Amino acid sequence: MPDDDAIRCDACPVLCYIKPGRLGSCDRYGNHEGKLVRVEPHVVLDRALSRGQSIVPFLAGDREWDGNIVAGQETFVTAIGAGTTYPDYKPAPFIISSEVKGVDMVTVVTEGIFSYCGVKLKIDTDRHLGPEQNVVRAQGEPVGHVTTSEYGSQMLSLGGVRHLTGGSRHEGTITCETLLSLCNGKPVDLSVDEGASVTVQAGKPPIVDSVCEERMRVGCGSATIGMFAKQWFGKVDEVVVVDDHITGVLSEHQAGKLLGVPETGIKMKGRRSTPGRYFKVAEPGTAWGGTNISDPLSILQPFEPKTAWAGLRLLMVSTTGEHSAYFELDEALHPVEKDLPLVLLESVARIKENCEPALCTVLFMGGAGGSLRAGVTENPVRLTHSVRDALTRVTCGGAPVYLWPGGGITFMVDVTRMPENAFGYVPTPALVAPIEFTLKLQDYADLGGYMDHVRSLSSIAADEGRRHVSARADNPWPLSPSKPPEAH
């Protein structure tokens, strides 16, 4: 039977058959993985100490019209599912007042439609993802570009209005889809022109060319020498820490010199920067230490016969400890690979241990520059001024944002600090993101707010809930007046 997977809802006499992933005719009950669930259009953050608690009472409200909100001071109404009143010169869908420590607070809750938006992606890897400025693609469509290499990570910039609406329709659609997935914490496959393929997901390790990145490097090759020189001293004659950025050589490095490590006659390829520090020992890649080499000996030239000696012990290791090899020189001064001695195994393990887990970080960046502000106040520029003057706090699904200095209200938010599935889209294409403005009631009146649309939290019955999620302990409480708006 084709409808075997449908379930029957008995919430009302319509008795809908509901297929998995779909809603009944009321749009309120749905089939979530075979279970009948109430789905709420509107997320309310309950202040709680931990995540993971979730209670789901339901309300009698019409999602378009009325904003019945749970009572109580410790509840913050997020904009998720609030809907929008675009074109935005109507009052925002929900304007909620609540008294916090004797001060009447107002939260203007709306969902913004962001054509001017994108994500800044930090991918913790030293592997070369592709040349700066090169195009990043999803499903073959250009959705962004490679920006800079940062410490232990590669930065990509995805989205932006030029990809969303400036290119072909298909480019815009795929860009929107990519941003939406990333912001809602789903994995996305990206490829960089002349570079790597990478699977990214907020808060998860990146997968570069089918290899899951586990750890960030402990430091550059030179820093690694500095950190571990003492632990190597006496156990090995020479250490090369292979790094695409700066490869370190123990015997030549300041740290080795201070310990009295004798010269070994080692000769590196690449360009020497300062003693024991080499640039460009190889090409960037996804192998040893973010280079393209799989054979570490390929970055060495023959040892200097006058200085080197047979039996010389050489450790080569990458900056994450992920790759390592141990050699001893034979009579002809050729390195011969041997098993890593136990004493060195420890130091390699320690490099690994000191590397932080490699993650992908997704920051949503959007600008509430134009008409969205008009849903908050009849005089939109005053909202910008108010945010600028730190009288109004901006949150995104209850999560703190970083506000860019300068004009407009351009902000960034870590999507992993927001409730799940906080983002939506419209076919424009553009992303729909929640945005809340919280300020004192008096300040709201002063900036020309829609005072006649303000609703009081306490005036509404407690049993009419929306979707409750626990607040994250590491997020500042959005209504707490003790924290400055930019705190994060």
Partner 1 sequence: MATRAQIQLLPDGRRLHMHDGPIDLIIEAFGPRTQIQAAYRSASARFVTVLDELCSELSLLRREPSADALPEGVIAQRMTRAVSPHSTIAFITPMAAVAGAVAEEILLAMTTAAKLDRAYVNDGGDIALYLDAGEEFKIGMVERPDGPSLFGTATLTADLPVRGIATSGWRGRSFSLGIADAVTVLAGRAAMADAAATMIANAVDLPRHPSIGRARACDLAPDNDLGERLVTQHVGELSPDEIAAALDAGEAMASSFLPHGLIHAAALHLQGHTRVVGATLPCATLNAPTAERGLVHA
* Binding footprint of partner 1 on the chain (CB under 8 A): 2-3, 6, 11-19, 22, 24-27, 60-62, 64-68, 83-84, 86-89, 112-117, 165, 169, 366-372, 374, 380, 426-428, 430, 455-456, 459-460
Can you tell me the distance from the alpha carbon of 325 to that of 240, in angstroms, rounded to the nearest whole number?
10
Neighbours of 168 (CB within 10 A): 11
Nearer to partner 1, 147 or 371 (CB): 371
HSE on the CB side for 138, CA within 13 Å? 27
Nearer to partner 1, 68 or 224 (CB): 68
Q: Which residues contact 486 (CB under 8 A, 6 or more apart)?
A: 390, 402, 403
Nearer to partner 1, 138 or 435 (CB): 435
Quote the least distance from Cβ 371 to partner 1, whole Å. 4
Nearer to partner 1, 17 or 404 (CB): 17
Cα dist from 396 to 186, 481, 485, whole Å: 18, 17, 12
Neighbours of 59 (CB within 10 A): 24
Nearer to partner 1, 22 or 334 (CB): 22
Nearest Cα to 29, choosing from 44, 40, 45? 40
The DSSP element (H or E) to which 175 belongs, if any, is: helix 169-183
Can you tell me the distance from the alpha carbon of 41 to that of 78, in angstroms, rounded to the nearest whole number?
11
Nearer to partner 1, 325 or 368 (CB): 368
Nearer to partner 1, 173 or 307 (CB): 173
Q: Which residues contact 84 (CB under 8 A, 6 or more apart)?
A: 92, 93, 110, 111, 112, 113, 375, 432
Are 103 and 142 within 8 A, CB to CB? Answer: no
Nearer to partner 1, 177 or 209 (CB): 177
Quote the least distance from Cβ 25 to partner 1, whole Å. 4
Nearer to partner 1, 168 or 294 (CB): 168
Quote the least distance from Cβ 2 to partner 1, whole Å. 8
Burial 237-251 (b: 16+ CB within 10 A, else e): bbbbbbbbbbbbbbb
What tokens were used for 287? Answer: 């192998």
Can you tell me the distance from the alpha carbon of 230 to that of 245, in angstroms, rounded to the nearest whole number?
23
Instruction: Map tokens 């600008």 to a residue.
Output: 367
Quote the least distance from Cβ 292 to partner 1, whole Å. 42
Cα dist from 279 to 210, 221, 250, 283, 399, whole Å: 27, 10, 15, 10, 41
What tokens were used for 396? Answer: 């995104």
Quote the least distance from Cβ 60 to partner 1, whole Å. 4
Q: β-strand 313-318 against 300-301: which pairing, if any?
A: unpaired
Its sign, for the CA torsion 446, 452, 457, 459, is positive
What tokens were used for 258? Answer: 């201070």
Quote the least distance from Cβ 137 to partner 1, whole Å. 21
Nearer to partner 1, 28 or 488 (CB): 28
Quote the least distance from Cβ 445 to partner 1, whole Å. 19
Instruction: Map tokens 């914490």 to a residue.
Output: 185
Q: Which residues contact 131 (CB under 8 A, 6 or more apart)?
A: 146, 194, 195
Nearer to partner 1, 355 or 435 (CB): 435
Quote the least distance from Cβ 452 to partner 1, whole Å. 9
Are 404 and 352 within 8 A, CB to CB? Answer: no
Nearer to partner 1, 274 or 459 (CB): 459
Quote the least distance from Cβ 480 to partner 1, whole Å. 25
HSE on the CB side for 341, CA within 13 Å? 12
Quote the least distance from Cβ 359 to partner 1, whole Å. 28
Quote the least distance from Cβ 92 to partner 1, whole Å. 13
